[in-house]
């Protein structure tokens, strides 16, 4: 789930294909009330697509991606025309800066009123005037640990450097996520551009490497459920799922702080059916639809009206799904740091992996 899954195919009812060479008025994806949606794997309840098609008469062509970095070149090159895409915060910022997105017409998205104002305010970190992006899901990054394999409660990133857990630690196979852990451990911003701070974080990751069982993305979920590791860095929505499967697992956002992220719906400049795209976004903001998606993917919803509809009191009041303000106050959202620092981070990560 979230941006982290491998892009598993949804129900066969979803047509998964790529529409090439489209643009407004080109007579491709926009004809016959059709939209092309590009989303993370397993990041929507398949029934929602059917319901949208039935209610609006708009056909959905649905395609999945695995990472923001896989999605970006397909959108930026114009080689494929999508009507709705679901990037993450820092990627939304990058796409705005590069002029890749259409401004939203909120007259066509009245259900935006269901989105909690706190999340719209948070989204201003990457979409300053809330002109381009409607929040869809959000969550935190933290530590998942097995209470039968870890002697004491965890509250710090320091445990990922503890020799007693050598071979029992799972780290994220992701440049920004891995560096975020090291930077926060050292007391720095996860958006650091300071050369000395980045070098120190690199050294931390190199020192940690002999203790790490594996650098993973999706695998952390199954490995932790199956007691194959004691500690793993994980996304909160995944943590909720694992705890349902294994009651010995506990999730914590470390005291040094972490990442709080937002994924949202945007409309690319080369879309073929902007009004259809806005109808889709509006549908996703309907409380009952948002609730269906929340229950399916287990990532937190910014839809206040949907949260009020949650019947399971445990999940409705879950501190993993909906952490307290003091937890969120010590978290940061990833910023797009520019191509120069993309390259710097990538080169530092290559150094870590080469050791």
Q: How many helices (H) and strands (E) does the chain have?
A: 14, 9
Pairing of strands 231-235, 134-146: antiparallel
- What is the CATH T-level fold of the domain 22-138+261-322, as seen in this structure? D-Maltodextrin-Binding Protein; domain 2 (3.40.190)
DSSP 129-191: TS-S-EEEEEEEEEEEEETTT-SS---SGGGGG-GGGTT-EEEES-HHHHHHHHHHHTT--TT
For the chain, give the mean pLDDT: 91
pLDDT in tens, 289-332: 999 999 999 999 999 999 999 999 999 999 999 999 999 999 99
Integer Cα distance of 20 and 294 in angstroms:
31
Share of the chain above pLDDT 90, in %: 87
Integer Cα distance of 355 and 208 in angstroms:
11
Integer Cα distance of 135 and 86 in angstroms:
9
**Do 22-138+261-322 and 139-260+331-354 show the same overall fold?**
yes
Share of the chain above pLDDT 70, in %: 91
Q: Average pLDDT in the 193-197 region?
A: 98
Q: Where are the domains of the chain?
A: 22-138+261-322, 139-260+331-354
pLDDT band with cut points at 50, 70 and 90 for residue 20: very low
Coil/strand/helix, residue 259: strand
Give the pLDDT confidence score for residue 32 in this predicted structure.
52
Give the pLDDT confidence score for residue 7 in this predicted structure.
31
| Chain center to CA of 30 | 28
Can you give the pTM of this predicted structure?
0.87
Q: Which two tokens stand for residue 322?
A: 């909906």
Measure the CA angle with vertex 48, ends 44 and 49; round to 5°: 90
pLDDT in tens, 47-103: 999 999 999 999 999 999 988 989 999 999 988 899 999 999 999 999 999 999 999
- Say whether pLDDT at 337 is over 60: yes
Give the pLDDT confidence score for residue 168 in this predicted structure.
98
Q: Average pLDDT in the 166-189 region?
A: 97
Q: Which two tokens stand for residue 281?
A: 């976004």
> Could you say which architecture CATH assigns to the domain 139-260+331-354?
3-Layer(aba) Sandwich (3.40)
Integer Cα distance of 217 and 219 in angstroms:
6
- Say whether pLDDT at 147 is over 80: yes
Candidate ranges 11-15, 26-30, 178-182; pick with highest mean pLDDT = 178-182
- Say whether pLDDT at 154 is over 90: yes
- Say whether pLDDT at 164 is over 90: yes
């Amino acid at each position: 789930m979230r941006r982290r899954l491998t892009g598993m195919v949804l129900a066969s009812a979803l047509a998964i294909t790529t529409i090439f060479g489209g643009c407004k008025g080109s007579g491709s994806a926009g004809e016959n009330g059709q939209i092309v949606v590009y989303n993370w794997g397993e990041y929507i309840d398949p029934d929602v697509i059917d319901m949208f098609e039935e209610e609006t008469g708009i056909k959905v062509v649905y395609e999945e991606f695995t990472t923001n970095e896989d999605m970006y070149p397909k959108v930026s090159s114009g080689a494929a025309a999508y009507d709705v895409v679901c990037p993450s915060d820092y990627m939304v910022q990058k796409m705005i800066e590069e002029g890749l997105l259409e401004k939203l017409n909120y007259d066509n998205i009245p259900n935006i009123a269901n989105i909690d104002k706190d999340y719209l305010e948070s989204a201003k970190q990457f979409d300053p005037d809330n002109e381009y992006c409607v929040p869809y899901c959000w969550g935190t990054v933290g530590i998942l640990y097995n209470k039968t394999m870890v002697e004491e409660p965890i509250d710090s990133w320091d445990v990922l450097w503890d020799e007693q857990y050598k071979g029992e630690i799972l780290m994220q196979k992701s440049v920004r996520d891995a560096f975020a852990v090291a930077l926060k451990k050292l007391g720095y911003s996860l958006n650091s551009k300071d050369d000395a701070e980045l070098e120190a974080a690199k050294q931390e990751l190199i020192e940690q490497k002999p203790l790490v069982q594996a650098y993973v993305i999706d695998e952390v979920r199954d490995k932790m459920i199956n007691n194959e590791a004691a500690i793993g860095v994980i996304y909160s929505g995944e943590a909720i799922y694992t705890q349902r499967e294994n009651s010995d697992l506990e999730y914590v956002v470390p005291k040094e702080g972490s990442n709080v992220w937002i994924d949202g719906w945007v409309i690319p400049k080369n879309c073929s059916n902007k009004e259809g795209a806005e109808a889709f976004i509006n549908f996703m903001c309907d409380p009952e639809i948002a609730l269906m998606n929340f229950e399916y993917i287990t990532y937190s919803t910014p839809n206040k009206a949907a949260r009020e509809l949650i019947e399971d009191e445990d999940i409705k009041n879950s501190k993993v799904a909906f952490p307290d303000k003091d937890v969120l106050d010590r978290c940061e959202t990833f910023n797009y740091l520019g191509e120069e620092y993309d390259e710097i981070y990538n080169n530092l990560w290559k150094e870590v992996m080469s050791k």
